Amino acid sequence: MSRSGSVSDDAERYYLFTNHGTVGHRFKVASEYGVETPTHEKLKGEEPHHFQPHYYVVTERLEDGNEVWVRAVYQAGSSK
């Protein structure tokens, strides 16, 4: 069993974002820095914080025994 916040938890979370490694699937995530910064600093004003999403697309999926490897590439400047 893994601890919350461990590498295996992160890997599983990102794997789920990829729709179980579906090649061609496009997904977005917020950067770790962008998520953690508001927890350490008070936000200014009453506006809700908006995370800058980072877009990726799954380019390859490889199964090796009990392991699944997923490759995704960053889609710079993409919001569609």
Buried b (16+ CB within 10 A) or exposed e, 11-40: eeeeeebbeebeeebebebeeeeeeeeeee
Give CA–CA dist 80/78, Å, rounded: 6
pLDDT at position 35, please?
Answer: 62
Q: Which domain holds residue 34?
A: 22-42+51-80
Q: Which of 65, 54, 63 lies closest to 14 in space, CA to CA?
A: 54
Question: Going residue by residue through the chain (80 aa), what tens digit of pLDDT does each one get?
Answer: 334 556 678 788 889 999 999 999 999 887 776 666 666 666 566 666 666 778 999 999 999 999 999 999 999 865 55
Per-residue pLDDT, 60:
97
Cβ-Cβ contacts under 8 Å for 35 (sequence gap 6 or more): 51
Q: Is residue 10 part of a domain?
A: no
The span from the CA of 15 to the CA of 27, in Å, is 11
Number of domains in the chain: 1
Q: What is the pLDDT of residue 2?
A: 39
